[in-house]
Amino acid sequence: MTTELYDQVASITQEYLGPATDRFLVRQITNHLGKSPQELTIQDLPTLIEWTKATLALLTEDRDIIDEYATKLSRLSEVS
């Protein structure tokens, strides 16, 4: 099992959430995908992106930042 995808997602998320990154992502992945971060797959990205966008919308009204974040995460599936 690899954590490479999770590490990539965390790296992007770190830019926006700083030290809250791991706590945020672990909650999103376990609560909404029903798996551990190590089990995250490319196929999970669309669902993860939708949930993270919804959660970030509760934290900020800046749609540009939310869309930028979602775009960066979406690009992970293009590279793999």
Q: Output the CA torsion 41→43→45→50 (10° steps).
A: -140
pTM: 0.90
**For residue 9, what pLDDT is reported?**
97
Give the whole-angstrom CA distance, residue 38 versus residue 41: 9
Query: Cα-atom radius of gyration of the chain, to the nearest Å?
Result: 12
**AA letter at 63:** R
pLDDT tens digits, one per residue of 51-72: 999 999 999 999 999 999 999 9
Give the whole-angstrom CA distance, residue 27 versus residue 75: 22
Question: Distance from first CA to last CA of the chain, Å, rounded?
Answer: 16
Residue whose token pair is 């930042």: 65
